[in-house]
Structure 1
């Protein structure tokens, strides 16, 4: 049904301005003639007053339309100097109103109507060579406001989409700065290792007066990085086996190799735990690559000695007398275990190691051949001490920690994965890190009391270029992390990035749908544009059709009849035209927040007072 409200063409030329100029000229002519003419001045004064009145009237009518056309030029990039006073203001605003998302307005039907009219008109503004994108999109609203998102909604996770250079790093800078000022734990996973994001995060910590909160990990700069054990946190030993086996190519012909590798890693991990030793990547590689003989002897010694304290000395003395090798010693321990302990007190953990020890060596080497290169990359060179740290090494002065400790100490942690130099290692580190964080989230959810969960600090997790570190644990954090007070911000370039990793469009959409909020900067992919705008409700736009015609009668050719008609119609369209997502200027976005809000905003460039 067509609305009863009058429909006005918003983007026609400002005819009132030309009329005002004409009447103003007439007023000046009347004033001039009044001084040089011998006619009575009353007539000239009346004419001058009439022309002046009409000029002011036309100017008043032209000014709003002229301002509307001026807004089509767009907004310039805005610098936001983060001083100590501004930090206090941001802290107060976060507490009262929520997360600051820059400036803009809530996009509604009237803004869509203006954009729809402009796209259909012949008066579209020319694009500037100095500004990328169509700046007129932000000019659909006269009054710009400060945009906020309530903190209660932030826990429902946010997806950020945008091509390189569109402003994802600046948006992360804005969000990270506010999380730091709220005194909450922050973890940033950046596959490409953006130096700007790292330095800006450090700057936020310095301005908030807590520089010591900042910590950094970067494989390209091992001397300046912390040491972190990515296998520190787990609830069951099988979790570690799943994490490491997940580094192998999955699916197809690789499935049997991955299953065997997972079983082998699980047996080795169980062996280290029986020996009272926490497994690391280096230890697991040693256990798999060098054989499990030595580890099996240690594990059987621990198990058998708990039942027969003197048995270790007997086997050791026999071995010294006959000078037997390690495999013979292992067989003696296995025989003792099976004859005297297994019937009444079986230990499934050590039985897995025994099975691995008795497995055909040639077949064993083939089955784990795919896993060893992945472990070798993570345990070679400086990475060996970075990812498998020894806390008792007093010669290494670099901090040694793990993810649960980072969260407990309220740290601001930046992980640069250096995927540009070595994408395989960067992806493996990112997946292990996300798996460790998922284990921490599970601990918080399962073992924290209701009171402690209520008063615990939210954890802000920022994942840039998420497709490069995509793994099941990231999906688990999106699905279930809210219960552990994880707030995820996941950034990518297009929907196709997830399709390439997950194998289908449906799986990619399922992944993105786990995020209640979506912030889209400029994106060129048509499928991504359509996916974003299809979630918005359709609206009806009005437009005019003008018809004219001339008719004549063959019997009376000199007689003509004409008609001129104007008709108002409505047509269903998108609330936000999808093609405009490919024309957004830098640092401008469209946000579809949970609950149906659609925001058109722009973000500032945060800088310190010294810059």
Structure 2
């Protein structure tokens, strides 16, 4: 509506309706009784048309006011299926909203004034219906009435508000919504999504990941999910099937080894020292623990160098075995290298071994293998000289007293044992020679070259320490791969390199739980290799608590050029957005009334009075932290493209049609929900009920999977563990475990 007055006022009675009704009455009079206003029928027809045009104009102005007032209490529903989410090769769709400007701050300021609260409060009938629901819910005879009062339908005049909370006025200050797009070129600058629990971070991730999977450039999509959200896993797999990329879809889940792909977190490296760094970074680094961490790093590096020299690929299982039995590694390495360097050396070692007894056994070698002691004595002989850095490193390790050695690696052994216990050992230390195991083995460079889609469920609810160690190792591996790509490209070593830079979309949910020293170079320098990080967390304090330094937390946050702020509960986190916004001038109205008496007895004027409105401006922040705290679920502020502020809301998910939902994944998802509940999903209470899956379409999909078996096809893995999953997690009473978690 065009503004012609010094101050805009939208929360007021729709006085334009009165003019519209009067014009309609005049038009009717000109049509049916033109003689009553001294008009001929032909002129009356023209006058009626003019009145109707003016009535339509005033009616439209009234409708803007009425719609604005209605949206202040309840926003119109915004929902869509995943197939309806727009996909562009140049932009990322975030939702519907508007660019926030000074006039929106003015309207929000007006909505907070006491005189306008009558337009924001619920109507009397709505409040009465809610009180009746509370009072009558205990009576069985009145449950039908309670159910009718709670029906979410436009036909229900007292239908309840959607359970999203917050202040709908924050979004209602603009009635002209449009699609909000972020240029894909901005994503290389990385995106930080802040929001407290159950306000829509997972839904935001689903919207972004869906577009990344369907983009025609076939971007690489990697999602780190510490909790193991079954709905997010199902959404990624369904979209991969729809995009025809199911054969490039991998699932790595520590909580479900039977359906998980396998990954050696220390099997690929650019430098040998990276393996020791990835393991040592998972150890405590505070106080006296820092010294033991350096010892652990040194011993892991020693055994890794020896294994690499022997031609073996490092793994957690092998490193644990070598740390526990470093004597055996020394003997194995010496047997292979010593005879080649010094022919006849083992015969001399056998002589030294035969002369050893309790009386001449070195005290610092107590507990060591007899052959190790003989080998050390032989190498210390004056006439023996060999230059082998790996052998010297092993010798320096075994020269420690064994009891002392066990103490200084005491912090390392529990971690390695957790990473190699049970069926997790099959995932993290895969047997490359076992051809009967059809679970795929992947590494990041292979995934990037195949334009793969990877879901990483770290099961942090069951064992946070293991999840943290694997997450850190994966990030470190990605940093190493990014460095390789930056230097040599994606297709280095292939016979016909044709690929340019590949977009690697890395979605990290609860990334503060997985963040270590590796994450800072990943966001700082990974953009040159095509890595585009979208990190999801709750508060800034989570990052500071994980890193242990406010300066380093600021260093991490400073690498995120785009900020998506949902509802948060911490002012410090909200100020991360509000402190970056400028101040704007807001108009305020002051009622002025004055009266003065006249003391002159000769004057006919006893007193004078005056009244009026005074308009002034005051500088206020464009947004306050309280506005962020009061956001409804599913709504957010977005700061992108060098400071452009947008207010958006995400669509509620409508149920997908059954033709793309394989039954095996659905069964696994149900089992995962029972074991790994990620909490209430805020949109389930406002979304329509899910549709039933067509049995014929399900049968056709399963037939396709059987006819096209491939080792990397995760659908086949899901299908094989459905029955075992049911036996392990099926409750006695299915009603105890609702499907929505």
**TM-score bucket of the superposed structures, by smaller chain:** 0.7 to 0.9
Mapping 1:270-419, distance limit 5 Å: 270-288=305-323, 290-312=324-346, 315=349, 327-339=369-381, 346-419=387-460
Residues 594, 304 of structure 1: alpha-carbon distance in 2 compared, 3 angstrom cutoff: farther
Q: SS of the residue aligned with 1:259?
A: helix
Mapping 1:544-559, distance limit 5 Å: 544-553=589-598, 559=606
- Distance in 2 separating the partners of 1:65 and 1:177: 37
Q: Does 1:464 align with 2:464?
A: no
Q: SS of the residue aligned with 1:227?
A: coil
Other-structure match for 1:23: 22
Residues 94 and 181, structure 2, Cα contact 8 Å, conserved in 1: yes
- Distance in 2 separating the partners of 1:308 and 1:349: 16
Other-structure match for 1:122: 115
Other-structure match for 2:245: 210
Aligned match of 1:531 in 573, 576, 583?
A: 576
Structure 2 gap ranges (5+):
123-159, 359-366, 659-690, 692-741
Residues 150, 60 of structure 1: alpha-carbon distance in 2 compared, 3 angstrom cutoff: closer
Q: Does 1:264 align with 2:264?
A: no
Other-structure match for 1:104: 97
Aligned match of 1:600 in 644, 647, 656?
A: 647
Q: Which has the higher contact order (CA 8 A, sep 6+)?
A: 1
Residues 637 and 648, structure 2, Cα contact 8 Å, conserved in 1: yes
Q: SS of the residue aligned with 1:432?
A: helix
- Distance in 1 separating the partners of 2:522 and 2:29: 77
- Distance in 1 separating the partners of 2:241 and 2:384: 60
Residues 32, 445 of structure 1: alpha-carbon distance in 2 compared, 3 angstrom cutoff: closer
- Distance in 1 separating the partners of 2:533 and 2:37: 77
Residues 231 and 240, structure 1, Cα contact 8 Å, conserved in 2: yes
1:492-540 C-alpha deviation (Å, 9 max, x unpaired): 0111211222234443232212111111122222211122111122222
Deviation at 1:319, TM superposition (A): 6.1
Q: Does 1:513 align with 2:558?
A: yes
1:218-272 C-alpha deviation (Å, 9 max, x unpaired): 1211111111100012222222112111111112121121121111211121221
- Number of residues of Structure 1 aligned to a counterpart in Structure 2: 595
Give the superposed CA RMSD. Answer: 3.4
- Distance in 2 separating the partners of 1:141 and 1:99: 22
Q: SS of the residue aligned with 2:611?
A: strand
- Distance in 2 separating the partners of 1:549 and 1:538: 33
Other-structure match for 2:63: 63
Residues 17 and 62, structure 2, Cα contact 8 Å, conserved in 1: no
- Distance in 1 separating the partners of 2:59 and 2:329: 90
Q: SS of the residue aligned with 2:574?
A: helix
Other-structure match for 1:491: 536
Mapping 1:183-202, distance limit 5 Å: 183-202=218-237
TM-score normalised by length of structure 2? 0.73
- Distance in 1 separating the partners of 2:356 and 2:407: 34
Other-structure match for 1:422: 463
1:90-146 C-alpha deviation (Å, 9 max, x unpaired): 2xx22xx32222222222222222222222353242376424222232223332222
Residues 418 and 466, structure 2, Cα contact 8 Å, conserved in 1: yes
Mapping 1:28-67, distance limit 5 Å: 42=38, 58-67=58-67
Residues 278, 52 of structure 1: alpha-carbon distance in 2 compared, 3 angstrom cutoff: closer
Residues 565 and 636, structure 2, Cα contact 8 Å, conserved in 1: yes
Other-structure match for 2:633: 586
Structure 1 gap ranges (5+):
none
TM-score normalised by length of structure 1? 0.88
Q: SS of the residue aligned with 2:473?
A: helix
